[in-house]
């Protein structure tokens, strides 16, 4: 590492890199963007010029071999997360990996192994954990105020919010809303529950709506939208059991004919319950039911996430969203697809 700055390489210079990771790094006085690569070299060059980034690497291997790089942000399509993370770890570079960790459990295991063997800091980009309201929920759960958490209900319904681009091509994404937005809500809720060990999943996935021409709707758009393929599910629901007897239900959709929701996460404990968005605590005081609202400020979750990554590197701390957390969530995500395909509950 250079004396006072952590030198960052950006792998994959598309939407999330340009609109979330790069702006967040630019706000950090102890980070410096030194390298970038992309399958489209012209895109990497544009980004390098715009932000004064010294190196445009030809590919992942060249980027991770650069002396001027201490750490990388992996912002590629999902099908390159494993390759990039393993190459970076073997080259001794710290890794912040966008969600989902990988496309398969085998890939996620290999990533964790490479990170453990090299001793680098590996952090999953589970950005919703870094929201101000999420941090409040986690702290309230850790205080013991909720008692034993035995059930949780989570989800995210978009009515017509299928992302455009590689997301709907299973060879690049690994799946649809389960792996794209289910990963956020399932991870967040599991984290709020105290990360119990997942043991089984029963789920259904629906391939019903596919592509559509609905007007007046907003969609996440990847930087390339040529050659569109639609072979992912457009909604899914299921039930996850944990070793401690607790369970979680989830519902997710990119497209469904029903009411749109934001990310919701309802946590039910023996002493109190708590919900995300709107943030609310459901308890009892002096034999009365009491609903209360923790007051939290506005924070930028991507900046919080990147700050945490840099702090973990500097202090040698394990990130709150570790490689092992990524692996546990990957097991659930792939378990959902296995259960849906087989039409029965699967053990993880």
Ligand X SMILES: NC(=O)c1ccc[n+]([C@@H]2O[C@H](COP(=O)([O-])OP(=O)(O)OC[C@H]3O[C@@H](n4cnc5c(N)ncnc54)[C@H](O)[C@@H]3O)[C@@H](O)[C@H]2O)c1
Question: Which positions ≥6 away from 42 have C-beta within 8 Å?
Answer: none
Q: What is the number of other CB atoms lying within 10 angstroms of the CB of residue 106? A: 12
- Determine contact, residues 28/307, Cβ cutoff 8 Å: yes
Report whether 47 contacts 41 (CB < 8 A).
no
CB 129 within 8 A of CB 183: no
**Per CB under 6 A, 9 contacts ligand X:** no
Minimum distance from CB of 89 to ligand X (Å)?
16
Does residue 185 touch ligand X according to CB under 6 A?
no
- Cβ-based nearer residue to ligand X, 42 or 293: 42
Q: Cβ atoms within 10 A of the Cβ of 263, count?
A: 18
Question: According to the binding rule CB under 6 A, does residue 14 interact with ligand X?
Answer: yes
- Omega before 278 cis (within 30°)? yes
Residue 269 contacts ligand X per CB under 6 A: no
Does residue 43 interact with ligand X by CB under 6 A? yes
Judged by CB under 6 A, the chain residues 203 through 242 that form the site for ligand X are 222-224
Rounded to a whole number of angstroms, the minimum distance from the CB of residue 40 to ligand X is: 5
Q: Go through 82-95 and write b for each residue having 16 or more CB atoms within 10 A of its CB, e for each that does not.
A: bbbbbbbbebebbb
Is residue 151 near ligand X by the rule CB under 6 A? no
Residues 49-78, one symbol each (x = binds ligand X by CB under 6 A, - = not), give -----------x--------------xxxx
Using CA atoms, how far apart are residues 289 and 338, in angstroms rounded to an integer? 41
| Smallest separation (angstroms) from ligand X to the CB of 245 | 31
Closest distance to ligand X from the beta carbon of 130 (Å) = 10
**What are the two backbone dihedrals, phi and then psi, of residue 294, each rounded to the nearest 5 degrees?**
-60, 140
Residue placing its CB nearer to ligand X in the complex, 96 or 146: 96
Q: Of 6, 8, 13, 255, which lies in the binding site for ligand X, with binding defined by CB under 6 A? A: 13
* Site membership for ligand X, residue 38 (CB under 6 A): yes
Q: Give SS3 for 285.
A: strand
Among 127, 170, 186, 209, binds ligand X (CB under 6 A): 127
Are residues 47 and 55 in contact, defined by beta-carbon separation less than 8 angstroms? no
Binding range to ligand X, per CB under 6 A, among 10-18, 22-30, 185-193, 335-343:
10-18
Structure tokens at 74: 């992996």
CB of 37 to ligand X, least distance (A): 5
Question: Whose Cβ is closer to ligand X: residue 24's or residue 205's?
Answer: 24
DSSP string, 241-284: EETTS-EEEEEEESB-SS-----EEEEEESS-EEEETTTEEEEE
Q: Which two tokens stand for residue 125?
A: 């980009």
Residue nearest to ligand X (CB): 14
If you compute the radius of gyration of the chain from its CA atoms, what whole number of angstroms results?
20
Q: Closer to ligand X by CB, 99 or 160: give it.
A: 99
User: By CB under 6 A, is residue 39 in contact with ligand X?
Assistant: yes
- Cα→Cα distances 212→173, 186, 207, 234, 236, Å: 19, 27, 13, 11, 18
In the complex, least distance from residue 137 CB atom to ligand X, rounded to whole angstroms: 18
Query: Residue 304, interface with ligand X (CB under 6 A)?
Result: no
Site mask for ligand X (CB under 6 A), range 78-117, x = bound:
x-x-----------------xx------------------
Positions in the binding site for ligand X (CB under 6 A): 11-17, 37-40, 43, 60, 75-78, 80, 98-99, 125, 127, 165-166, 222-224
């Amino acid at each position: 590492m250079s004396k006072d700055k952590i030198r960052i390489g950006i792998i994959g210079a598309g939407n999330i890199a340009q609109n979330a990771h790069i702006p967040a790094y630019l706000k950090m006085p102890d980070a410096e963007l030194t390298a970038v690569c992309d399958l489209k070299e012209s895109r990497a060059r544009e980004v390098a010029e715009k932000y004064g980034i010294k190196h445009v690497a030809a590919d992942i291997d060249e980027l991770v071999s650069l002396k001027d790089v201490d750490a990388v942000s992996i912002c590629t399509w999902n099908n390159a997360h494993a390759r990039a993370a393993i190459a970076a770890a073997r080259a001794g570079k710290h890794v912040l990996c966008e969600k989902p960790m990988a496309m398969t459990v085998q890939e996620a295991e290999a990533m964790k192994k490479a990170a453990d063997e090299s001793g680098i800091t590996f952090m999953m980009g589970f950005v919703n954990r870094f929201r101000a309201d999420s941090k409040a929920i986690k702290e309230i759960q850790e205080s013991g105020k909720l008692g034993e958490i035995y059930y949780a209900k989570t989800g995210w319904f978009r009515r017509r919010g299928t992302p455009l681009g590689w997301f709907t091509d299973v060879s690049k994404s690994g799946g649809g809303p389960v792996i794209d937005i289910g990963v956020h809500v399932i991870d967040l809720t599991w984290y709020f529950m105290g990360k119990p060990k997942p043991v089984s999943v029963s789920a259904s996935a629906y391939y019903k709506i596919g592509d559509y021409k609905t007007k007046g709707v907003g969609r996440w758009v990847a930087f390339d939208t040529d050659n569109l393929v639609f072979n992912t599910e457009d909604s899914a629901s299921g039930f996850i059991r944990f070793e401690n007897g607790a369970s979680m239900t989830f519902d997710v959709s990119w497209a469904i004919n029903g009411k749109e929701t934001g990310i919701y996460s309802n946590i039910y404990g023996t002493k109190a319950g708590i919900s995300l968005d709107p943030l609310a605590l459901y308890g009892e005081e002096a034999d009365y039911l009491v609903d209360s609202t923790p007051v939290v400020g506005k924070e930028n979750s991507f900046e919080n996430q990147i700050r945490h990554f840099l702090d973990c590197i500097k202090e040698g701390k394990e990130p709150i969203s570790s490689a092992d957390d990524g692996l546990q969530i990957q097991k659930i995500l792939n378990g959902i697809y296995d259960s849906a395909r087989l039409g029965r509950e699967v053990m993880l």
